[in-house]
């Protein structure tokens, strides 16, 4: 059985001397002054996790896994540990790309159902957006320059706002049977320090990227009236140099979560320098987040096919042994698509026992550990 302090400890106001009757006076540190109560609670609880525990998440965990697809209440993680992840990653590509209206509607309803399922269980939903290139109509890997064209005044700005309208419609529709808006962490234009997406560093100026981010936040929050969103900024590796991270940072008024994507190939995990740079980077981001009352997270990570069977405990123990890096509030591995592309163990994989050790660590928080308390102030 997993040893873990009660979930309510994560939500305790004792240290802040705040009682239940004072909830309305709690300062809202989100970038949205009109954020819903559940969104503010999620922000507070994630922020309050810092140094106490780390939510574990996976992309598309409820949708499919190795050898199965679309089975209700199933995930490869649950098949091994008895618990789903506590954080669920989804992507908006299918609901906002150039496609038939029927397909977009079907994709939106499917995504909506998974977000609702995760929320009902008490999990956190985070949305990335592998968005098409608006200049060419091709996918996100087409690095034809696009950013300047979709900014206000650009030739493709209208097409971009139409796509944002679809994103807004989906997020606005995320309500439970009591009409409560489901909070989401929106993570657009990620890994912007890389060269594989059209919004990457070689394909737009730093100011263009900032303008794109700021316009997106203002459009969704202020024009479309979405108040159930936390916004996550997540470049790729920064090699222990915070300047690389901050070069395109859109500003404290536009970011709730300071994220960081870092994957590990076998060569990296055996290269102590690479591991130390990653931990150093996380520590720098955590320190900055703490100084600005924001959340820090390892927004994408993992080792494809988990070729090193002790990967999970090796990496997590190293992160948690660092005073600064251990302040991340959540970490998310990528999806389990097939036996050639997966990032969490599945039944029968050699890393299962190590993953169980990872699960049993008091600092790793799965769905069973958090219950439904992340959206309440107690």
Task: Cite the active site residues.
Answer: 191, 300
152 CB burial (10 A radius; 0-12, 13-18, 19+): exposed
Place of tokens 């089975």: 71
Which whole-number Å values give the CA distances from 243 to 233, 235, 237, 238, in the listed order? Answer: 15, 12, 12, 8
CA-based nearest residue to 229, from 28, 37, 27, 39: 39
Please tell me the distance from the alpha carbon of residue 287 to that of residue 129, in angstroms, as a whole number. Answer: 27
| Contacting residues for 101 by C-beta, under 8 A, at least 6 apart | none
Cβ–Cβ under 8 Å, residues 53 and 364: yes
| Contacting residues for 155 by C-beta, under 8 A, at least 6 apart | 149
What are the tokens at 124?
Answer: 């956190």
């Amino acid at each position: 059985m997993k040893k873990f302090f009660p979930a309510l400890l994560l939500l305790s106001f004792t240290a802040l001397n705040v009682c239940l009757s004072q909830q309305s006076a709690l300062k809202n540190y989100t970038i949205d002054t009109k954020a819903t109560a559940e969104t503010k609670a999620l922000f507070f609880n994630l922020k309050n996790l810092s140094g106490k525990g780390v939510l574990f998440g996976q992309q598309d965990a409820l949708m499919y896994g190795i050898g199965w697809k679309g089975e209700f209440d199933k995930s490869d993680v649950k098949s091994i540990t008895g618990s789903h992840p506590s954080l669920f990653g989804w992507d908006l590509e299918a609901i906002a790309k150039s496609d038939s209206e029927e397909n977009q509607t079907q994709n939106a309803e499917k995504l909506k159902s998974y977000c609702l399922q995760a929320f009902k269980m008490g999990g956190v939903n985070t949305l990335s957006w592998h968005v098409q290139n608006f200049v060419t109509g091709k996918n996100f890997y087409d690095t034809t320059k696009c950013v300047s064209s979709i900014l206000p005044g650009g030739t493709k700005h209208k097409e971009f706002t139409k796509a944002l309208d679809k994103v807004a419609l989906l997020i606005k529709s995320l309500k439970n049977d009591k009409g409560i808006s489901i909070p989401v962490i929106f993570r657009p234009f990620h890994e912007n320090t890389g060269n594989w997406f059209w919004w990457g560093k070689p394909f737009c100026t730093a100011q263009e990227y900032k303008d794109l981010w700021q316009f997106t936040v203002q459009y969704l929050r202020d024009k479309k009236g979405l108040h159930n969103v936390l916004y996550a900024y997540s470049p790729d590796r920064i090699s222990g140099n915070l300047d690389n991270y901050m070069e395109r940072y859109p500003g404290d008024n536009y970011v709730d979560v300071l994220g960081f994507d870092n994957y590990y190939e076998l060569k990296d995990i055996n290269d102590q320098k690479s591991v130390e740079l990653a931990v150093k980077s996380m520590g720098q981001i955590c320190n900055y987040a703490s100084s600005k009352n924001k959340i820090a997270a390892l927004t994408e990570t993992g080792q494809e096919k988990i070729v090193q069977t002790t990967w999970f405990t090796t990496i997590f123990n190293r992160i948690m042994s660092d005073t600064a890096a251990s302040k991340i509030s959540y970490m998310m591995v990528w999806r389990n698509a097939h036996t050639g592309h997966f990032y969490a163990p599945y039944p029968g994989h050699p890393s299962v026992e190590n993953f169980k050790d990872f699960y049993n660590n008091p600092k790793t928080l799965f769905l069973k550990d958090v219950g439904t308390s992340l959206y309440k102030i107690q």
